[in-house]
Structures are given as structure tokens and as C-alpha cells.
Amino acid sequence: MKIDYSQKLYSEAVKYIPGGVNSPVRAFKSVGGTPLFIKRGLGSRILDVDGNEFIDFVGSWGPHLFGHLPKFVKQAISEALENGTSFGAPTIQEIRIAQLITQLVPSVEMVRFVNSGTEATMSAIRLARAYTKREKLIKFAGCYHGHFDAFLVSAGSGALTFGVPNSPGVTSGIAKDTLIANYNDLDSVLALVDKFSNDIACIIIEPVAGNMGVVPPKKGFLEGLREICNQHGILLIFDEVMTGFRLAPGGAQQLYGVQADLTTFGKIIGGGLPVGAFGGKRKIMEMLAPVGPVYQAGTLSGNPIAISAGLATLKFIKENPYVYTAIEEKSKMIEDGIRNNLNNLGKKFILNRVGSMMTLFFTEDEVTDLNSAMKSDTQLYSKYFHLMLSKGIYLPCSQFEAMFVSYSHTEEEIRHFVKSNFETLSEILK
């Protein structure tokens, strides 16, 4: 595989962009080597600047449920572009997509659009604090909610300690208001609530974790969180930036039958363009300015081109719910293929899948939280990643990220993936 031009571009990029990339995971630090510069994407395929073509199982980290540049998104962008790029004023599209979200996600009665998942989660936290008149939040080790200061906090030295900053620039004052629980562990949540219940504004969680690799909630875990929040006047925030409209038309809330007080969205609602949103109960959302006192604003929020792409995507989802059955079948084909390969090779590596999200963990211990995910052999994953890349399969460049299956992946491509998976595992396990 030739990567001469990518290497040249990367050498140039590091002179002007920190690390040569605009989001750290793109730098291939977890797997080594030079990040590939992508020239074009169409359907299930991407092409890099050196002319290498790959079957893409990253999908821009989740937005491309229908593959790259589906016709209905391209048409929506083209039509919107004819009218202008930005107005800083309301448009019809904003109303239509807000209506559609409230129809698809019953817990959302009102919605506010922003430009990224990080903006959505940070705004939801501010709103939750204002609504409850409390300052602390509970998040879960291994769940990622963007680069807002309050989220860049790790667990302290004891079970009941405050969080500590895990990035320079995050102050200890901010960190003290973030409490860390363990994913899939209700006892760790109860311990924090027992000690700080009168101070906790919200619990924020990825209902299906996707940023320590894919980790599904244990039976009763999300239900338990809902009950705890109900008992203690705490708002439950589902970060569905990744799972929203991917796992079902109503996201993880539909899949698991648990409703949140506030929900954050991103990725799919932009149809591949930068869009974020947060929404929830009317009585909570009406605390936002200009109706209420909680200030949140953005010059490009509700950008007409991005919103048009997202509206086209959600319309297609509503009108064609069969796509989820088709994507589930494709995803299960991959899961079954990987499990058969592992069985034939006598390996018990862990494969976690929820719908079209999955991760193959290079560990034989069940992965249910961050600590168990961290037992994975990251060096082995690095070898796996590069060998799969050489076979034309583009996977997440980190053991701890989700792989995504799209509607555009064909059975032939899936068979190629499964065959490549077997050959690669056979080679790295010699």
C-alpha cells in the first residue's frame, strides 16, 4: 500500500496544525504510523490521496448511517446552497427538523441546535444545574462527552473522592464538581448519591458506551439510574451523540425503554455536517434564553445547509424504518463471521455489539466497564489495524473506539471483511 503523498502531507501539516490533525484520535498515535489523508468518500468506500481505496467501517466516527454522500443528502445540500450559506436568523428547516426529532424521540418535547456534540453536552449540563439549583454532576469513567472542562476529569484515588483533572488547563475547582462512577455499577452511583444527593444536578451517561470501545449497559442498569434520579430529584442526561438515530429511530431510549430528562445529539442529525443538539422536557427547555434565564447562543447554530442535510437524513429514517432491519442483518453477519473466526482459531477475544456499533477487544475477559476494557492488548490491536488496512479495510485507529456498519455496506464487502479478519487474526496470533 502506497502512502507517499499522505506522508508528505502529514510532514507539512505538523508545521501548521498541532500534531498535524484537528482531532487527536486522527493522528494514529494509538496504532502508530502515518494518518491517511482522505480525498473522497462515496457509499461504503473512501479513497485516500495516494489512490488507495478502503471499505470504510468508521463512517466519520458515526454520522454516516447511509454511507458517504447518499443522494438524498447531496440533493438537500445542493438545494440549500442555492439560497445561501448562513443567515444568523431563523429558517423553516429548523422548525421541521425540531418537529421530526420530537416525533422520533418521545422524551424530547423541545430542542435547541448547536454546532457540535461538545456544545450540546456542555449546554445540557448548564441547563440541568440551573433547573435543579445544584452544582455537581456524575459521569462514568470511560464515557466521553466532549472536551468541555467538566468532562475532562478522571476518578480520584478512592471510591468517594472528587474527580481530578486529567488534562492541563482544567482547574481543580471545576473538577471538584464532577463525580466519577463506574459504568454498569449501580452501587458506585448509589455511594456518590448517598454522600452528595443534595448537591447533584444530573447524571450524564452514554446509554451504550462507545468511547472505551462499545460497552452495552447490563440489564437493569439504565432502569436503575432512572429510578435513582426519580428518587433524588436528579436529572438523567443521555448522551446520544453516537447512539441517537443509529440504534433505532428513537435511539437507545427506544431500544432499552428508558427515557431521559435531557438528551444530547450529534453526528447523524447533521447528515455528515457539523450539527449538535440537546432537548428534553418542555419545562426544562423553557429555562433557556430568550424564554428563561439560562444563556446559550451560537452564530452558526441551526446553519441552513447543515440542518438541511440532517433533515433529509431524519426524513429518510422516518419514511424507511426498514433500514434498521437491513443494517442489523449486515451487522450480525459481521459479528457471526468474527465469532466463527475466533472459534476456529481457538481464541476467546471479546466482541461487543449493539446494533451497528461494535468493538473487537483483544482480551479474553468480559468487557463491561473502563477497567475491563483497559485489559485489552493494544499492541495486538495495532498489528490488527495495519494488516486490515493493507487488505482494504478501514477501521478505527484505536482499540477503544467503535466500528460502525452502514446501510451502504454490501454482502460482498462483508464477506471480504470476514475473510480479511480471519487471515489477519491467523497472522498476528502465530
Q: Please name the residues in contact with 275: beta carbons below 8 A apart, sequence gap of 6 or more.
A: 113, 114, 115, 266, 269, 303, 306, 307, 309, 310
Grid coordinates representing 417?
A: 471483511
Known catalytic membership, residue 2? no
239, 261, 381, 384: the active-site residue: 239
48, 131, 136, 267: the active-site residue: 267
Rg (CA), the chain: 21
Neighbours of 13 (CB within 10 A): 18
CA distance 241 to 257: 18
Grid coordinates representing 82?
A: 442555492
Orientation of helix 322-345 relative to helix 411-428, angle to 10°: 30
Grid coordinates representing 404?
A: 460502525
Known catalytic membership, residue 185? no
10, 144, 256, 384: the active-site residue: 144
Nearest to 272 by CA among 182, 393, 369, 406: 406
Grid coordinates representing 166?
A: 486529567
Grid coordinates representing 341?
A: 473466526
C-beta of residue 258 within 8 angstroms of C-beta of residue 226: yes
H or E element: which one contains 280? strand 276-280
CA distance 304 to 99: 16
Q: Is 315 exposed, middle or buried (0-12, 13-18, 19+ CB in 10 A)?
A: middle
Residue 149 CA to its chain's centroid (Å): 18
Q: Please name the residues in contact with 390: beta carbons below 8 A apart, sequence gap of 6 or more.
A: 1
Grid coordinates representing 343?
A: 472459534
CA distance 345 to 331: 21
Burial of 402-423, coded b for 16+ CB within 10 Å and e otherwise, reads bbbbbbbbeeebbeebbebbbe
CA distance 313 to 302: 15
C-beta of residue 301 within 8 angstroms of C-beta of residue 116: no
Known catalytic membership, residue 267? yes
CA distance 282 to 214: 32
So which residues are the catalytic ones?
144, 239, 267
